[in-house]
Structure 1
Amino acid sequence: MLFIHEVHRIRGARDDDFEAAYRDGWMPALAQDQDARLLWYFKHAHGSGPAYNAVTVTAAHDPAAWGRVADRLQRGDLRDWLRSVDDTRHGVTSKVLRPVEWSPLQRADLATVPTTVQDHPLSIYMEDTGWPSAPLDDYVAFWGETYYPLLNARPPGERLLDIEAVFEPLYGSGRRKEAILLQKVIDPSRLGYLLTHDTAPEHKAPGTFMHDALAYRDEWESKLLRTASWSPRW
Structure 2
Amino acid sequence: GFEDKYYKGRKPAGIYLPRFRNLGGKSDTKEFIRGYGYQGSATRGNWKDAIAEMSYGKNLKEAILKPGGWRFGMSGFGEVLPNEDNRMTLDYDKLDSWGLPTVTFDAEFGDNEWKMREDMKEQAVDMLKKAGLRDVEAYDEPGALGLGIHEMGTARMGRDPKTSVLNGYNQIHTVKNVYVTDGAFMTSSSCVNPSLTYMAFTARAANHAAEQLKKGAL
Establish whether TM, by shorter chain, passes 0.5.
no
Higher helix content, 1 or 2:
1
TM-score w.r.t. the length of structure 2 is: 0.21
Higher relative contact order (CA 8 A, sep 6+): 1
Higher strand content, 1 or 2:
1
Larger gyration radius, structure 1 or structure 2: 2
